[in-house]
Every structure is written in structure tokens, then in C-alpha cells.
Structure 1
């Protein structure tokens, strides 16, 4: 059973999240909080596995609460916010958050995020994934080399071996992950079941040595597999 803490200064939001999560057999909402300080105390008091935190809360905000919760090691954190702001995203990741979702996400995405983060993985909203990719792959352009071929920079031998180990379907799934699509969106695009997509993503992570989806996307770009 995954034990979840909900922290948001709007009771209606907490109630909505609780309704979405409470119907799942493997998830239990064990505590709620209206601000960051309450969230930190509740995470420690209720043996929480995953804390879902808003950013803008009175007193201690969600970023500082994330830093304290992750620092004590009592729970993993997913930020769930209304605001698609780059500073919130990178501040949350720097504070140790394992996930970042927008409140307009589908209920299935919220459930998937809780399960993924509880399992030790990371999960970002598609919009956030693309921003992280841009930040991680951004670098000053090297001086032009007259003899250099056009196209992406060739992958190193390890990346080439990892890329070669992927099946055709895994290449296809990785390309869609690199576009920022969620598992549910990939399943719809490829006419596959969600469980099948999840298996493909797990295989991709294992074959590419990626800890999570973000690292897999960076691998795809560096190996020239992303469109």
C-alpha cells in the first residue's frame, strides 16, 4: 500500500485528489495539510511514501517543504501546481522533488505519478520534460568543422550499443517519450495497452542505463534518436 500525503491550501483541491486516489486498491491517503509546515510534520508523523505538494501555500511554501521532507528522507515528493513556471520546475527539482505535474493533468497521470515515484522513479509533466531536455542539452555551439557531416553528433560507442539493443517498437516509444508524451498518450498514439507501453518504457530504461524518463529522453537526444 502506497501511503500518500496531500498538501494544498485549498480544501477542494485536496478533496478532489483524495477522491481520485482513494479508488485505487494500492494507494491510501493517510494525511492532509494546508501549508508547507503542516506537510513536513505530517510526512514525518504518518510514515508517508509520497507527498503531493502545491507550490504556493501560506507560510512555508511547497519548494521549502520539499527540501525539508526530502532532507529527512521520510518521503518522496511530487509537486502538483497550477502554474507552468520554469522557476517552479527547476527549484522543485533542485529541492529534491521526484515529480512535477500540472493540476490540469488527467487523473490517470496523477495515479501514475504516485506509483512511479513510490517505485523510485521520476515522472514529469510533458511540458516539464521538454524544458528539462532543453536545459540539459543546451550548450554553446562548437566552431564549424569543414569536414563534419550534417546531422546529429554521432553517439559514443556505449550509446551506439545501447541504441542498437532497442527493438523497433522501443525506438518508436522512446521517440514519443522524447516528444514529452505520457504513457497514456503513447498508448493512444500507437494503439497499445497502457501496460504494454509501461513494459516498453521499463525495457528502454534498462537498456539505456537511464534512471528515469528524463535521462532516457536526454539519451535519445544525445544518441540522435529523437526527432
Structure 2
């Protein structure tokens, strides 16, 4: 059973890394960068949030530097996008979908990791959120964009991330842990984010 759980956790992490790497590479295509720029944005988007989390938690060297596949997946995503990226007009939609998947997976897994390290519930939610949005923020800054988490026109981004992290913490408080909790939170975050984009939901803002 432990082997199955570990395999599922590994799969979730790889899905999140690959999804975020695709969104970073697609952003680079949208910004007309070359393959080097694509690889940089893919790597930063996929691994940046996790590196920030691990450094803040004292888990060094970061997990991204201890797992070969975590380093190779952004390069694989770069090559795939380089040769098979969709029509330019569709890049934005594809990038948002991959970004939502990565956001959900990373927020959920990072919150669970923080709890396992003995962090408080509030600190775990903070670290989970930072992990989910950190890579995207670095990607946007390098691409010359205002980070999605700060822009009103990108609809809800931080709200579903925080809500999903809180769900993991609440379930942990009633002794519900494991991969299914992470999967549930990840699906919830991703679904909320995509619905916000579709229905044009926005967070409260001053008039």
C-alpha cells in the first residue's frame, strides 16, 4: 500500500511539473522567445515554487535538485512545445488550462508536505499557496507581464489556491491524510480556476 501511495504522489508531482513547464514554454512562444528562453521559462515555472517552498522549510538541497526527472521534464516540455505548439491564437487558452492543472497539484502537494514537516496550519496554507503561484509569478516577471496573481483581468487565481490549501489543512485536522486528499484538493483548485475563467468570476476589488 505504501508503494502505491508513493507512486501516486510521484505521479501527481510529475503531472504538476509537466503542466507548469508546458505553460511556461507556451508563454515563451507567445512572447516570441527562442528555444533557450522557452527552456528557462519552462524550468522556472515548473520548479520555482517548489524551490522557494523547500528553502523556506529548510529542506535543502531542494527536491527539484534531488530528482533527475524533475529537471528533465521542463526540457521535454520545451521540445514538445517547440515542435508541436498549436496555432498562435490558441496559445493563451492552452496556457491557462495547463497553468490551472499545475496550480492545483502544487498547492495541494506542498500543503501536505508542509504539514508532514510539522508546520502550523497557517504556515502550511501559506507555503502551499506560495508553491502554487511562485513559479507562475517568476514566469510572468521574466516574460515582462504583471504576475497573474496580481491582475484583476486574470480572474480568480489566488482565491482557489488558498481555498484548496485550507481544505488539505482541515482534512488533516480530522486525521484525513494521503494521496486522495491531495487529489481532491488539486481537482477542486483546478476546477474552480477554470470555472472562474469561463464564468468571468473575479475577486472583490475597490470601485
Pick the structure with greater CA Rg: 1
Structure ranking higher in strand proportion: 1
Structure ranking higher in helix proportion: 2
Report which structure shows greater RCO (CA 8 Å, sep ≥6). 2
